[in-house]
Structure 1
Amino acid sequence: MITASLLLLAGLLVAVLVTGLVLRPRGASTFEFYLAGRRVGVVTNACAICGDYFSAASFLGVAAAVYASGLDGVWYATGFAAGFVPVLLFIAAPLRRFGEFSIPDFLGRRLASDRVRLVAVTVVQLVILSYLVPQAVGSGLTWELLVGEGILGLTPYATGVVVSTVAITALVVVGGMRGTTWTQAAQFLLLLAVFVWLAIVVTSSGFSYPGSVAELTDQPLTKPVQEDGQWRLGSEPNRLDGGEPAYFGHPGGRYGPLGQITLIITLIMGTAGLPHIMNRYFTSPTGTAARMTTVWVLGLAGLFYALAVLLGTAARALIPDAVAGRPWLEGITVDGVLRVPEHAPLVLGRIFGGEAGLAVVAIGALVAVLSTIAGLLLASAASWGHDVYERHINPGATQRQAVWAGRAAVMVVAVLSAGLALGLRPHSLTALFPSIVATMVTWAFALAGSALAPVFILAIWWRGTTARGAVAGMGVGALTAVGMLVAAPFVGSWGLGEVLLTPTIVAAPLAAAVTVLVSRRSDPPADLERLWLRLHGTAADRHAARLARLTIGVGRAGKRR
């Protein structure tokens, strides 16, 4: 089985690299490397965004959260899917019409400030790094279950981290946005096919979602805990009601009413500030295409997360009865409950498809990781290569030099994220959260939704936004979010701890308020009307403005003669 798994993995990695080589940019152009020439169609871009967005947190984490926490885990699926509603309504079309390379580039041009651009680059890199680490963790956990052995003296977990990081870094360095777009679109279709296959075989076995939820709710939720090196089954306390048991089909076992609201807001706002997702809208040919892309994404996201919730529930209902006679399953469960919730989809694949089924689902999990890492590394390359190197370090750089600066940034950020993932001990953290991967990704959403999204939306929709206001807002939002996350482990009250772990409900309004207050005390860009027309004007408006400028120019030339 190990040989077959390695062959499947090798085949996947070779296919990814070949695609990157075939579709790589034909010239050393930043326009091609970062934006794929702005020729990505609606459906292709929608699939690529889904491949970018449906990370380890989506493929493994949502099902794991539902498996571990029941109804409270569904909030992850709801928040991840609903995050594209504000993107559709407020961001996609004007962002594409303005037409830059990245979030920092957009803010720097919209507010006519290099300082804004550099502050945004700093925040973007923090978001990217905090998002990359859980992807690497997910790849390590998947390799651990699929292959179970390391290479070159590494542990299985470390091997998964290293292999996935090296492979996808090579794709991004070689293929740029064009190669990455097509591989991400294909990878999403593979992810969806794996979930559809798994849902079909699970329901064909007699599984009923409503019936299973009702049956699971009859008994309190339990979870494996480790004491003195021994595993046992402990209770899943309802932290809001002084230790009363939590139930699968009842809310409040993991998050109280306030915690549910703060989690949803964090995920929704965070989506609007994710650099690797927002950058994809710059690849659309028009603003209308960007909006239609988001409509497709919403539909695909709804389907994908519905399947993830179903599979998390199926794993909780079916795995206990499948343990008998399966020594491999006994070794990763405690009284029928998985020690690592992220293994839930993988175990279902092996139960219903044997070794081949496990390999198929594991390949899907690794594809989710690789696809998201690719998007994050490209966003990092755009920030460093375009916004820092081209704009400040070497303004006279050739296109070839700028592209290589972006490639160098990709490699540095990839090594740093892999190093952080290798330093983590995910197995020791699984008992603290419904899904360690989904929880860590939520922290990245919190930072993006607190520091970037409020300023981003204000810059698009409020004329009065200024450079000083944006810098102050991003700084306050980032510091507030990070400070609350750091303080969370030291707070005994779970009600307050919920807010600290999902701080966007506090940090985002604070960042917006600071942006507005400081902006009112400073001046907007001198050419605000032209910038506003780029954001919100129709094609006819922009054509009329160009004609007006030409007419004025001709008139002035005539007077001079």
Structure 2
Amino acid sequence: MTASIVLLAVLLVAIGSVAVFIRPQRSSTFEFYLAGRRIGVVTNACAICGDYLSAASFLGVAAAVYASGLDGMWYATGFAAGFVPVLLFVAAPMRRFGEFSIPDFLGRRLESHSVRITSVVIVQLVILAYLVPQAVASGITWELFFGYGLAGLSPYATGVLLSTAAIMLMVALGGMRGTTWTQAMQFLLLLAIFVWLAIVAVGAGFDYPQAVRELSEQPLANPEQVEGRWQLEPVTNQLAPDTPAYFGEPGGQYGQLGQFALIVSLAMGTAGLPHVMNRYFTSPTGTAARMTTVWVLGLAGLFYVLAVLLGTAARSMIRDMSGDVAWLDALTTNGILRVPEHALMVLGQIFGGRAGLGLIATGALIAVLSTIAGLLLASASSWGHDIYERHINPNATQRQALWAGRLAVAVVAVLSAVLALGVRPESLAGQFPSIVATMVTWAFVLAGSALTPVFVLAIWWRRTTGPGAAAGMVTGAVVAVTMCAAGVVLDGAGYGELLLTPTLVSAPCAAAVTVAVSLVTRPPQHLSTIWVRLHGTAADRHTVKLARLTRTGLGQRKGGHR
């Protein structure tokens, strides 16, 4: 136990030190938010993976596979597929246009202050929705790994508060440059942990096809608390409600509509995630942004393949060992974990003892810290740059703007920790295959409903206007939040699975309202110049700049002759 704690402390201190020592010496918002736009392709790809592969990926995907079998793979599919639309439609044009953040991009593209302010509000809601499950995951990890709290707090609350405080300090001190390098290191560490765990599992005799066949011999069942007592409850096949679900067959969690709705929600949501999209502004060129996305697709694909394999290994091996290991029996009911997010950590302890558990717990906390860092930077950019510098104090010095961003980091971090403390993972374990993955999905739903449709239209439809975009964002957010809330209340009844992942409905609503309002309002004044910035070649942009300089020079000469 002591060695595991020392390992965790050393790794966290090392990562924090990198963030501090590699930070830029010049204090400017350009360096703090964009790292001077000097981040290379591979480094940025690893950093994006560190940003994106959150606790929902490290713990949640394996947990979803553990709890619902084949249906848990839809999370891996949707998370990995999310970068395909980014590659095809978003990355290069957005970087060519070149701004600080999503609100900055939309405000300048549509020449509208109302769009900037509206998008800041939506971005903050997405960030908060994404931050809370990360804090929940840190509490779950601390609770299993350490088992005790500090200063009279519960173990869960201690994990939430310590992780939030640590990453808040790292982001405030390191900015984008320090965070980029730490996130790249964090991703490589997470990938190495997955590779190690897969190798030792296979070396211990785990065979994926055979394990799926054996797990599918009996109907799927998971622990649920009934009148204060844990017992196994059979899982109903959502594709055929009168039959039981099996591990190796679809239907353990979603029907046909639910499966499709989940993948669409995750794929569309990626293009609207502020902490991921903001990273593309740090690329040197549009081509570099596109190549970065190609690397991300490959690295993320490998990561999710391993997550699915390990979730299956945990279900198979933990079941076989139940009844013989005292510490394992305390976490299970009839050989099935009560909290699916424990799957990887238990697997680590099976193969590596307390040191193995410490390594997986370290990976889980690092996944949390890495994603929280990106989210807090995106929050700081929205408040500090888009609100404080442009509306509250347009004459702010660089020092004042930086402190405004750091204050935003602190406020949002504290708020997310407070909300996470109200979540009780065990009480929700029976309702969702993975509470962490499900909560993150809601953030994807909000981003994919309110931001992605407007984002894509602003890039590819010339006629998009500021009022249209603002109306579309509000519509998408309201429809998505209302439907998700109804889905939680109905608990999956009827069309509940569509209500919980409503992007199929909310995104078209947002797009339709954006188009309708745009058609009756005035487009941006400098649309031709804007379009060249988005889609023109380097030669086109150089020609436009030269023509502008020539016109300016001729105007000055005429003024001089007068």
SS of match in other structure, 1:283: coil
Instruction: Name the structure 2 match of 1:152.
Output: 151
| Residues 139 and 156 in structure 2, CA contact (< 8 A), matched pair in contact too | yes
Instruction: Name the structure 2 match of 1:23.
Output: 22
Post-superposition offset of 1:23 = 1.2
**Paired amino acid for 2:459:** I
| Residues 45 and 280 in structure 1, CA contact (< 8 A), matched pair in contact too | yes
Deviation string 1:407-462 (CA, Å, 9 cap, x unpaired) is 00000000000010011111100110000000000000000000000000000000
Partner Cα distance (2:9, 2:196) in 1: 23
Instruction: Name the structure 1 match of 2:410.
Output: 411
**Paired amino acid for 2:314:** A
**Paired amino acid for 1:54:** L
Instruction: Name the structure 1 match of 2:184.
Output: 185
Instruction: Name the structure 1 match of 2:298.
Output: 299
SS of match in other structure, 2:432: coil
Partner Cα distance (1:492, 1:298) in 2: 34
Which moves more between the two structures, 15-24 or 71-80? 15-24
| Residues 239 and 494 in structure 1, CA contact (< 8 A), matched pair in contact too | no
| Residues 142 and 160 in structure 1, CA contact (< 8 A), matched pair in contact too | yes
SS of match in other structure, 1:526: coil
Instruction: Name the structure 1 match of 2:314.
Output: 315
Instruction: Name the structure 2 match of 1:128.
Output: 127
**Paired amino acid for 1:155:** S
Post-superposition offset of 1:240 = 4.6
Post-superposition offset of 1:242 = 3.3
Instruction: Name the structure 2 match of 1:556.
Output: 555
Instruction: Name the structure 1 match of 2:95.
Output: 96
Identify if the C-alpha distance between structure 1 residues 493 and 378 changes in structure 2 by more than 3 Å, giving closer, same or farther.
closer
Partner Cα distance (1:67, 1:469) in 2: 44
| Residues 256 and 495 in structure 1, CA contact (< 8 A), matched pair in contact too | no
Partner Cα distance (1:93, 1:494) in 2: 42
Deviation string 1:10-65 (CA, Å, 9 cap, x unpaired) is 22221122112101221220000000010000000000000000000000000000
Query: After the TM superposition, which residues 225-244 of structure 1 pair with which residues of structure 2 at under 5 Å, given as runs?
Result: 225-244=224-243
Post-superposition offset of 1:404 = 0.4
Instruction: Name the structure 1 match of 2:534.
Output: 535
Query: After the TM superposition, which residues 79-478 of structure 1 pair with which residues of structure 2 at under 5 Å, given as runs?
Result: 79-478=78-477
Partner Cα distance (1:510, 1:227) in 2: 40
Partner Cα distance (2:16, 2:491) in 1: 48
| Residues 116 and 471 in structure 1, CA contact (< 8 A), matched pair in contact too | yes
Identify if the C-alpha distance between structure 1 residues 153 and 243 changes in structure 2 by more than 3 Å, giving closer, same or farther.
farther
Partner Cα distance (1:55, 1:309) in 2: 15
Instruction: Name the structure 1 match of 2:56.
Output: 57
Partner Cα distance (1:74, 1:385) in 2: 39
| Residues 258 and 495 in structure 1, CA contact (< 8 A), matched pair in contact too | no
Partner Cα distance (1:143, 1:374) in 2: 19
Post-superposition offset of 1:493 = 6.2
Partner Cα distance (2:467, 2:479) in 1: 18
Partner Cα distance (2:16, 2:283) in 1: 24
Partner Cα distance (2:211, 2:285) in 1: 46
Which moves more between the two structures, 73-82 or 356-365? 356-365
**Paired amino acid for 1:199:** A
| Residues 172 and 409 in structure 2, CA contact (< 8 A), matched pair in contact too | yes
| Residues 24 and 176 in structure 1, CA contact (< 8 A), matched pair in contact too | yes
Partner Cα distance (2:555, 2:410) in 1: 52
**Paired amino acid for 1:241:** A
| Residues 16 and 171 in structure 1, CA contact (< 8 A), matched pair in contact too | no
SS of match in other structure, 2:44: helix
Q: Which runs of 4+ in 1 moved over 6 A?
A: none
**Paired amino acid for 1:346:** M
Q: Which TM-score applies when normalising by structure 1? A: 0.98
**Paired amino acid for 1:25:** P
| Residues 47 and 187 in structure 2, CA contact (< 8 A), matched pair in contact too | yes
| Residues 4 and 359 in structure 2, CA contact (< 8 A), matched pair in contact too | no
Partner Cα distance (2:407, 2:262) in 1: 35
Which moves more between the two structures, 531-540 or 186-195? 531-540
Instruction: Name the structure 2 match of 1:547.
Output: 546
Identify if the C-alpha distance between structure 1 residues 114 and 290 changes in structure 2 by more than 3 Å, giving closer, same or farther.
same
Partner Cα distance (1:357, 1:240) in 2: 38
Identify if the C-alpha distance between structure 1 residues 210 and 52 changes in structure 2 by more than 3 Å, giving closer, same or farther.
same
Instruction: Name the structure 2 match of 1:512.
Output: 511
| Residues 187 and 367 in structure 1, CA contact (< 8 A), matched pair in contact too | yes
Partner Cα distance (1:419, 1:148) in 2: 21
Partner Cα distance (2:489, 2:183) in 1: 40
Partner Cα distance (2:516, 2:160) in 1: 45
Deviation string 1:458-483 (CA, Å, 9 cap, x unpaired) is 00000000001001100100000000
| Residues 8 and 359 in structure 2, CA contact (< 8 A), matched pair in contact too | no
**Paired amino acid for 2:345:** L
Which moves more between the two structures, 146-155 or 412-421? 146-155
Deviation string 1:70-126 (CA, Å, 9 cap, x unpaired) is 110000000000000000000000111111000000000000011100000000000
Q: How many residues align?
A: 560
Post-superposition offset of 1:241 = 3.2
Q: Which TM-score applies when normalising by structure 2? A: 0.98
Instruction: Name the structure 2 match of 1:77.
Output: 76
| Residues 63 and 434 in structure 2, CA contact (< 8 A), matched pair in contact too | yes
| Residues 35 and 177 in structure 1, CA contact (< 8 A), matched pair in contact too | yes
SS of match in other structure, 1:247: coil
Partner Cα distance (2:218, 2:166) in 1: 44
Partner Cα distance (1:265, 1:19) in 2: 37
Partner Cα distance (2:209, 2:320) in 1: 18
| Residues 146 and 358 in structure 1, CA contact (< 8 A), matched pair in contact too | yes
Post-superposition offset of 1:495 = 4.3
**Paired amino acid for 1:46:** A
**Paired amino acid for 1:387:** D
SS of match in other structure, 1:238: coil
Post-superposition offset of 1:209 = 0.7
Which moves more between the two structures, 236-245 or 96-105? 236-245
SS of match in other structure, 2:252: coil
SS of match in other structure, 2:147: coil
**Paired amino acid for 1:184:** Q
Gaps of 5+ in 2: none
Post-superposition offset of 1:555 = 3.2
| Residues 239 and 256 in structure 2, CA contact (< 8 A), matched pair in contact too | no
Find out whether 1:503 has 2:499 as its counterpart: no
Deviation string 1:112-143 (CA, Å, 9 cap, x unpaired) is 01110000000000000000000000011111
Which moves more between the two structures, 94-103 or 235-244? 235-244
The CA RMSD measured in Å over matched residues stands at: 1.1
Partner Cα distance (2:226, 2:450) in 1: 40
**Paired amino acid for 1:114:** H
Partner Cα distance (2:252, 2:309) in 1: 19
SS of match in other structure, 2:451: helix
| Residues 322 and 351 in structure 1, CA contact (< 8 A), matched pair in contact too | no
SS of match in other structure, 2:405: helix
Deviation string 1:229-269 (CA, Å, 9 cap, x unpaired) is 22111111224533521011111121011100000000000
Partner Cα distance (1:366, 1:97) in 2: 35
Partner Cα distance (1:148, 1:492) in 2: 31
